[in-house]
Structure formats: C-alpha cells, structure tokens
Amino acid sequence: MAGTPLRRPRGTPLFSLEKVSKHYAGTDAGVVALNQVSLRFEPGTVTALIGTSGSGKSTLLRMLIGLDRPDGGRVLVGGKPLLPDEHLALRRRVGYVTQDGGLFPHLTARDNLALLPRHLGWNPERIDARARELAARMQLPPELLRRYPAELSGGQRQRVAVMRALMSSPDALLLDEPLGALDPVVRFDLQEQLRQVFATYANTVVLVTHDLAEAAFLASRLVLIHDGSVVQDGTPEDFMARPADDFVRRFTGAQRRLPQA
C-alpha cells in the first residue's frame, strides 16, 4: 500500500464506520467512548469532528488509522475491513497530526520530514525539494528546517508536523486538535494556512476540534459527538438554523462573544 493510493471500488467512501463501539475501563460498567457510531467519509471532503472534552471524537479519529480498535462494529478503509496486519501500511498512506505535533526531539525539522520519504526510497534531493515546497506553503522560513523541535516556537512546530504529514502526498489527512495548544494570534494564522493546504494537497480531511468557529471555518461538514454518540451531522448552516436537540443548541450557543460597548 505504501507509495500507491488506497484502492477502493468506485463510489466507496475512503473511511467508514459501521455501528462502532468502544469502551474503556474506569468504572464497573466501563467508560463508553463510542456507542454504535456509523459514519462515512467520502473522498475530497473536509469533516470536523466536534464536541466537548471526552465526547469520543479523538477515539473516533484514532479508529480510522488503527490506533484504537473497536469492541464492536467495523472500521472499513476503501470498502474493506481494516485488519491488524494492515495498520502499518495504512499509516504510510494517511497523514496524522496530533495536538503536540509528535516531532522526534533528537531530529532536526528536516530529518523529521524525511522519515517516511526515506523509508519509501526517496533520494535527498527529492526530500529537500518537497520540504522547501511545503515550507513555502506553510510560510515557514526554510532555514528553520535545520533546527531541532526545542528550538522552534509552538506554531513553527505545528507547521512542521503538518508538513511531515503531507510529505508523501497522503490519500487522507487526520488532525487531532492540531491548533488547541497555540495562542490566538498564531492559531488564527494557522487556520488560514490549513484551509489553503486542505484545498491544495489533501484529498480527504478529518479533523478534531472543540471550537465551533474553527470547525466551520475549516470544514464543510460538522459531526457533533456527545457521550459517544453522533447527535448531529451536517453543514455549519444546518447547526445554526436546524439544531437537532437542546444539546446542539447549548453547544452552538456556548461561543462567547466580546461584550458590546
């Protein structure tokens, strides 16, 4: 699978979940992370998974790449069940970005970017050309690629993390609250850069955020998860004009505005 697109029959979603459930230990009954969730993620779409902390959205994202396994139901990739021996190959075709970036501290930014391409047999010239291309897109000065993660700011580290996920032109990009730890000014700038990146480089995007405004800015589809279940799935306009229930109304109304003078 590495180096070639994920194969799927025409009309088949890139990812799908069929009645997926997941429980974690913690109480006598266990903690329900996902409860009978069924979703499809079509190629060429940008979907934001939103919800409060602990709602199950990050667990759902990890299911798509095999980092978590369901207790019930099925995860399908390209229309076929995701099997344990396929997890590594899948991760070579899907870019994944965590909130802290996940960069290796003992490697320079450039060497972090080179990890998967080197494994795929790219030569140094091709690696450097791709790194320069992505640095320009993410507005990261190319000389910073010689620095180690500890020598970069939080915003710079996240730019490198997104670049690393995009190095081998993945079929999908999965992002788990990639901007959550950044200050508002850096976050604002990166939101605009991410939207441009999604349009230019990524075929399918699924991102996790608890910020409704950020989700609506980056994605055309929002999936609100509460207590492990999907409570609404639709466009940002649907959420504002046609909330499914009182929880959706509370969630959409909980965005604080500046006080009026």
Q: Between vectors from CA 104 to CA 100 and to CA 108, what angle results, nearest 5°?
A: 115
Residue 30, pLDDT score: 64
Phi/psi of residue 53, nearest 5 degrees: -60, 135
Residues 6+ apart with CB under 8 A from 44: 203, 204
Q: pTM of the full predicted structure?
A: 0.89
> What SS3 state is found at 229?
strand
**E-state strands within the chain:** 15-24, 31-41, 46-50, 72-77, 80-81, 94-97, 172-176, 204-208, 221-226, 229-234
Q: Are strands 221-226 and 204-208 parallel, antiparallel or unpaired?
A: unpaired
Residue 3, pLDDT score: 46
Residue 11, pLDDT score: 59
Q: In whole angstroms, what is the distance from residue 31 CA to residue 58 CA?
A: 14
- The tens-digit pLDDT sequence of the chain (261 residues) is 344 455 555 557 889 999 999 998 765 556 889 999 999 999 989 999 999 888 999 999 999 999 999 999 999 998 888 888 887 788 888 999 998 889 999 999 999 999 999 999 999 999 999 999 999 999 999 999 999 999 999 999 999 999 999 999 998 999 999 888 788 888 999 999 999 999 887 679 999 998 899 999 999 999 999 999 999 999 999 999 999 999 999 999 886 565 555
Amino acid at 94: V
Residue 203, pLDDT score: 79
* CA 115 centroid distance within chain: 20
**SS3 per residue for 180-192:** CCCCHHHHHHHHH
DSSP state, 27?
S
Q: Between vectors from CA 162 to CA 182 and to CA 176, what angle results, nearest 5°?
A: 65
Residue 1, pLDDT score: 37
> What SS3 state is found at 221?
strand
Q: In whole angstroms, what is the distance from residue 33 CA to residue 48 CA?
A: 18
